[in-house]
Amino acid sequence: MNEPVILCIEDDADIRRFLRSTLTANGMQTLEAANGKEGLQLASSRSPDVILLDLGLPDMDGMDIIRQVRDWGATPIVVLSARDRERDKVAALEQGADDYLTKPFSAAELIARLRVALRHTGRRVSDAEFVFDRGGLFIDNAARRVTLDGAEVRLTPIEYKLLLTLARHADKVLPHSTLLAEVWGRHGQDTQTYLRIHTQHLREKLKDDPLNPRFIVTEPGIGYRLKG
Ligand code: CA
């Protein structure tokens, strides 16, 4: 038996029931916690493969749970959040959550996000030897080389750093602030504009249509995600 173990930290019993039945039907094992304290206990004692975390818990702030889990390891965390809580999602991603699902979500969405999170477990490659090869886009960081459908793409240092950052976290939403910090080493009002302009240039060089993206997806009000 090698079923992935998913820890669901959620105080709403109906949602827990939905999670349990969906995960079980898709060959995943479920651990359940109705509050943050139980959730942290299970996270440390049972080492789940992925944590599904509701941010609105009765006893603890979801952000504290993310911080504590990140103190001891890299278990992927997928946050469950209400539709109008954009700021919470950004804060959760900044604290180290890997992804989020907006309530209400379908069983298909849940499973798709979990599969992505599971693909990322235990796959931390060092920066120097990083290689990305998906959907016609190829990045070889050792050679600092990018090709699109086999043809070389010439990027400025900033564009390259932006693409590399997105690629190293493929399938994951990166908040504006994270991209600004990683690419420019700081963030403020002015740098938001740089990010938008450089993303636009990068898209042009990758022949990517923002309205129907092949590579770079805009997450409105939050950030960008490279399709993995
Ligand atoms: Ca809740």
Ligand 1 centroid to residue 220 C-alpha, Å: 24
The residue whose two tokens read 């992804």 is 99
Helix (H) or strand (E) holding 51: strand 50-54
- What are the backbone angles phi and psi of residue 202, rounded to the nearest 5°? -60, -45
What pLDDT, on the 0 to 100 scale, is given for residue 118? Answer: 85
What pLDDT, on the 0 to 100 scale, is given for residue 181? Answer: 84
Tokens standing for residue 166: 């997105």
Does the CA dihedral 116-106-9-67 come out positive or negative? Answer: positive
Rounded CA-CA distance 217/153 in Å is 19
Ligand 1 centroid to residue 62 C-alpha, Å: 10
Rounded CA-CA distance 22/32 in Å is 13
What pLDDT, on the 0 to 100 scale, is given for residue 76? Answer: 92
Ligand 1 centroid to residue 13 C-alpha, Å: 9
Q: Which residues surround ligand 1, an ion (CB under 5 A)?
A: 11, 54, 56
Report how many domains make up the chain.
2
Ligand 1 centroid to residue 226 C-alpha, Å: 30
What pLDDT, on the 0 to 100 scale, is given for residue 124? Answer: 47
Tokens standing for residue 20: 């349990």
Helix (H, G, I), strand (E, B) or coil at 175: strand
Same domain? For 105 and 153 the reply is no
Q: Domain of 94: which CATH number?
A: 3.40.50.2300
Which of 61, 95, 119 is the endpoint of a domain? 119
Ligand 1 centroid to residue 39 C-alpha, Å: 13
Same domain? For 79 and 163 the reply is no
Same domain? For 11 and 114 the reply is yes
Distance of CA 227 to the CA centre of its chain: 11
Helix (H, G, I), strand (E, B) or coil at 4: coil
Give me Rg for the CA atoms of the chain. 18
Tokens standing for residue 10: 């959620």
DSSP 56: B
What pLDDT, on the 0 to 100 scale, is given for residue 142? Answer: 85
- What are the backbone angles phi and psi of residue 212, rounded to the nearest 5°? -140, 70
Find out whether 159 and 202 touch, Cβ atoms under 8 Å.
yes
What pLDDT, on the 0 to 100 scale, is given for residue 85? Answer: 81
Ligand 1 centroid to residue 106 C-alpha, Å: 17
DSSP 61: B
Same domain? For 101 and 150 the reply is no
Task: Print the domain residue range for 77.
Answer: 5-119
Same domain? For 176 and 219 the reply is yes
Ligand 1 centroid to residue 122 C-alpha, Å: 29
Neighbours of 24 (CB within 10 A): 13
Ligand 1 centroid to residue 30 C-alpha, Å: 18
What pLDDT, on the 0 to 100 scale, is given for residue 126? Answer: 61
Same domain? For 86 and 109 the reply is yes
What pLDDT, on the 0 to 100 scale, is given for residue 190? Answer: 67
Ligand 1 centroid to residue 130 C-alpha, Å: 38
Same domain? For 135 and 73 the reply is no
Ligand 1 centroid to residue 175 C-alpha, Å: 23
Ligand 1 centroid to residue 58 C-alpha, Å: 7
Ligand 1 centroid to residue 31 C-alpha, Å: 17
pLDDT under 70 in the chain at which residues? 1, 121-127, 186-190
What pLDDT, on the 0 to 100 scale, is given for residue 59? Answer: 97
What pLDDT, on the 0 to 100 scale, is given for residue 10? Answer: 97
Q: Identify residue 23 by its one-letter amino acid code.
A: L
Neighbours of 219 (CB within 10 A): 17
Residue-wise pLDDT for 8-39, tens only, equals: 999 999 999 999 999 999 999 999 999 999 99
